Amino acid sequence: MPRGTVRPARDLCSDCGLCDSRWVAYVRRACAFLHQRFERMEAEVHGRSRDLEQPDELYFGVFRRMLAARLEPALDGAQWTGIVSTLGARALEQGLVDAVLCVRQSADDRFTPEPVLARTPAEVLAARVNKPTLSNNLSVLEQLPGSGIRRLLAIGVGCQIQALRAVQDSLGLEELYVLGLPCVDNVSREGLQTFLDSTSRSPETVVHYEFMQDFRIHFRHADGHGETVPFFGLDTPRLKDVFAPSCLSCFDYVNAGADLVVGYMGAPFGWQWIVVRNDRGERLLSLVEELLTTRPVQSTGDRRQAVQQGIEAYDRALRLPLWLAEVVGWFVQRFGPTGLEYARFSIDSHFTRNALWLRRHHPDRVEDHLPAFARRIVGQYRLPTE
């Protein structure tokens, strides 16, 4: 079946790849955009669903422990310090799994993802760094039958992991480990170009970028020089429609179904943020823990006023002049939320925007599509009424 032929979620499809495999047969109950099943997924994977009365679980999902960590020395060319790729490589070296599902770049474009079932540590390391575009990860499930792979480590973002969890019992695997990445605001390859063109001074030379905890976007260019742009200076009118509809209706920012999550947003600037959700997550982390410098997570500031102001500014598609964006950025960086409070800032900002988007573009889906935890988070704010 040619890729992309079947897409029951239509415009909301994130191209997770399930429909390009024989497991398309399960799409009605597996697709994150046709059927939300957070509570059931959490209960099946972690033994219970998240406790909505527990403030950290409401935001970050079921967890055993959280920490901030850095791989030292950092893995050259990784997105942050390379904890994810190092862990994937060690899972193969130490015989925990037979293969790692990860995403390398296509031969002719740094930002075009190419999912792969890596069988050697070198292949996992070659897949380091984000390809910040929608990736067809689950299409490689099609290669499982007859491959001899019995134990798999899957690395992926929330929508991919939701679908994977829904079909995992029918994959014929003895063991499945899941290393999740937090994810938000993903784009198609064309959407990425619009973003780069409107944000960077030299879009054609960007090789790496990240939205960081200092409220700036950090670009790295091919010659090694860096460029930073304040969030508040983004060309909101032009960028409002750049994100994929799937991502404008997604509430799985923190990858609720993963065993272990490795991101950055709950950690201080320069550090990675690790969330261990269950025993399998502990097992995964133990592969690299001796290589990490760690510190406890922390949280300072109060995000709420900034989130409320951001909802109104975004809705009116305001664009600040660069000098003002720099001044706002300077204040927020010094006095704004840090650590877990920064993560809550980002979750609140995206969930309110997405709830509004869903209400306007798919009013009939709001009831089904907004999970209980997101409903509660969004309920803390005033949303525009029209």
Interacting residues with ligand SF4 (CB under 6 A): 7-9, 13-19, 27, 31, 33, 134, 157-159, 163, 183-184, 186, 246-247, 250, 252
According to the binding rule CB under 6 A, does residue 264 interact with ligand FAD? yes
CB-closest chain residue to ligand FAD: 263
CB under 5 to 8 A by kind: which of ligand FAD, ligand SF4, none does 27 bind?
A: ligand SF4
CA distances to 32, 72, 137, 320 from 159, rounded to whole Å, are 6, 31, 10, 33
Residue placing its CB nearer to ligand SF4 in the complex, 13 or 87: 13
Query: How far separated are the first and last CA of the chain, in Å rounded?
Result: 43
According to the binding rule CB under 6 A, does residue 155 interact with ligand FAD? yes
Q: How far is the CB of 104 from ligand FAD (least distance, A)?
A: 7
According to the binding rule CB under 6 A, does residue 345 interact with ligand FAD? no
The pair of three-digit structure tokens given for residue 135, joined into one six-digit string? 């990736």
HSE-CB of 91 using CA atoms within 13 angstroms: 33
According to the binding rule CB under 6 A, does residue 157 interact with ligand FAD? yes
Q: How far is the CB of 137 from ligand SF4 (least distance, A)?
A: 9
Contacts 24+ apart (CB under 8 A), 212-218: 212/264, 212/269, 213/264, 213/265, 213/267, 213/268, 213/269, 213/338, 213/342, 214/269, 214/333, 215/329, 215/332, 215/333, 215/336, 216/329, 216/333
Candidates 25-33, 49-57, 121-129, 319-327 — which segment interacts with ligand FAD by CB under 6 A? 121-129
Cβ atoms of 5 and 15 within 8 Å: the answer is: no
**Residues ≥6 apart with Cβ < 8 Å to 195:** 187, 239, 242
Residue placing its CB nearer to ligand SF4 in the complex, 183 or 261: 183
Q: How far is the CB of 32 from ligand SF4 (least distance, A)?
A: 6
Size of the site for ligand FAD (CB under 6 A): 37
Q: At what angle do helices 340-361 and 304-315 cross, to 10 degrees?
A: 30
Binding site for ligand FAD (CB under 6 A): 75, 78-85, 88, 102-103, 113, 127-133, 135, 137, 155-157, 181-184, 186, 210, 262-265, 272-273
